[in-house]
Amino acid sequence: MVEGEDLQMQNVEIFRELIKSPGKIVITTHHKPDADALGSSLALARLLKKKGHQVQVISPTDYPDFLSWMEGNDDVLIFEGNETKSSEIVNEADLVCCLDFSSLDRLNDLGEIVAASRSKKVLIDHHLDPDDFADFTYWTTDAAATAELVYQLIAELGEDELIDRAIAECLYAGIMTDTGNFKHPNTTEHVFEVCAQLIRHGADTAHVAKLIYDSNTVNRIKFLGFALSERLTILPEYNTAYFAVSQEDLKRFNSQTGDTEGLVNYALSITGIKFAALIIDRSVMIKISFRSIGDFSVSEFSRSHFEGGGHKNAAGGKSELSLEATVSKFEKLLEKYKDQLSNHIKTYA
């Protein structure tokens, strides 16, 4: 069991009651889903289908190609472009399960439809500050991944023998990526226990790692090289490093959804750096990823200045300013946090 102070885990009997008789279930997750968001959703969908339910996974937007191997991918409905159909399905659902996000605005316009629907609602998540909208909440920031919670919920229900290789690999992918390939401090004993169980249920861990991490296009690798050599700024006085990527940069390398994922971690991997950002001009808005090491809360930073949130050491936000103005706002803000950011070993050479 995931244990800790930060728990809002209602008795699983409430969930058992919600899924007692076969019904119509929608599973949804945050926009631009990552491996944890999509893997958790598809794993739960497959399990609930095995229990006789009619299940539809709806993603607010598209997602990276390196997730398309997940079983059930072909049946995912993308809300963007299918608004009417998605809305009808949500309105007819008996139950809507919300996975890997804590606030309904992470669903874009789908959020209002979910909020207004008469269906019962379930929240399974590990992000900070959950909205209070669910009839059953299974939430703790002590979980490394939503996939870890989905496994735990299935086990608590006593349904773990329904976990087959497809479910196990979807869940494993979520845990592997949300722990940064088992590198982050959230990689607990429980994480390894769950992974051991997923292997017992058939997960081929090397295969999943290859599909997620080693399925790059040439463009993506060249973009990585370009960003590292041309778009990385290091601010030693703040132990901070950031990338600023323009629309033209994205076009030049024919950037696809997911191609920038993980880039921010290169900035954080530099010795001495404790705060990293990836600032991208996505044309409709500037999207920012934040990462930190140690006590500096990027979730608070993002919430206070960039309309975002997330976890203490991994968060995201946005800006309506231009790329240049966003970068300059970011740099100016650092002065305010200098004390928190400066006491660190400085070795950048």
Confirm or reject binding of residue 313 to ligand 5GP (CB under 6 A): no
Q: By the criterion CB under 5 A, which residues form the site for Mn ion?
A: 36, 100, 146, 178
Partner in contact with 342, chosen from Mn ion, ligand 5GP, none, beta carbon below 5 to 8 Å by kind: none
Please work out, in degrees rounded to the nearest 5, the angle formed at the alpha carbon of residue 193 by the alpha carbons of 187 and 197. 130
User: Is 309 an interacting residue with respect to ligand 5GP (CB under 6 A)?
Assistant: yes
Residue 69 beta carbon to ligand 5GP: minimum distance, rounded to whole angstroms = 20
The Cα–Cα gap between 80 and 300 comes to: 29
For residue 298, the minimal CB distance to ligand 5GP (Å) is 8
SS (H, E, C) the chain: CCCCCCEEECCHHHHHHHCCCCCEEEEEECCCCCHHHHHHHHHHHHHHHHCCCEEEEEECCCCCHHHCCCCCHHHCEECCCCHHHHHHHHHHCCEEEEECCCCHHHHCCHHHHHHHCCCEEEEEECCCCCCCCCCEEEEECCCCCHHHHHHHHHHHHCCHHHCCHHHHHHHHHHHHHHCCCCCCCCCCHHHHHHHHHHHHCCCCHHHHHHHHHCCCCHHHHHHHHHHHHHCEEEEHHHCEEEEEECHHHHHHCCCCCCCCCCHHHHHHCCCCCCEEEEEEECCCCEEEEEEECCCCCHHHHHHHHCCCEECCCEEEEEECCCHHHHHHHHHHHHHHCHHHHHCCCCCCC
Check residue 305 for interaction with ligand 5GP (CB under 6 A): no
If one asks whether residue 122 binds ligand 5GP (CB under 6 A), the answer comes out as no
- Find how far residue 132's CA is from the centre of its chain: 20
The CB-of-315 to ligand 5GP minimum distance in angstroms stands at 4
Q: Binding segment for ligand 5GP among 6-14, 114-122, 184-192, 304-312 (CB under 6 A)?
A: 304-312
Single out the residue of 146, 177, 289, 326 in contact with ligand 5GP (rule: CB under 6 A).
289
Encoded one letter per residue, x for contact with ligand 5GP by CB under 6 A and - for no contact, window 12-51 reads ------------------x---------------------
316 binds ligand 5GP (CB under 6 A): yes
Could you tell me the smallest distance in angstroms from the CB atom of residue 148 to ligand 5GP?
Answer: 14
Q: Which residue has the tokens 């400066």?
A: 342
Of the two residues 145 and 211, which places its CB atom closer to ligand 5GP in the complex? Answer: 145
Question: Which residue is nearest to ligand 5GP, using beta carbons?
Answer: 316
317 binds ligand 5GP (CB under 6 A): yes
**Of 311, 326, 330, 341, which one interacts with ligand 5GP (CB under 6 A)?**
311
For the CB of residue 101, give the shortest distance to Mn ion in the complex, in Å: 8
The residue range among 68-76, 229-237, 303-311, 334-342 that interacts with ligand 5GP, by the rule CB under 6 A, is 303-311
Distance in Å, CB of 14 to Mn ion, minimum: 23
Which is nearer to ligand 5GP, 11 or 216 (by Cβ)?
Answer: 216
Given Mn ion, ligand 5GP, none, residue 146, with its beta carbon under 5 to 8 Å by kind, binds Mn ion
Indicate the angle between helix axes 146-157 and 165-178, nearest 10 degrees: 140
Closest to ligand 5GP by CB, 86 vs 289, is 289
Cβ nearer to ligand 5GP, comparing 120 with 127: 127
Rounded CA gap, 168 and 153, in Å? 14
Residues that bind ligand 5GP (CB under 6 A): 30, 103, 127, 289, 308-311, 314-318
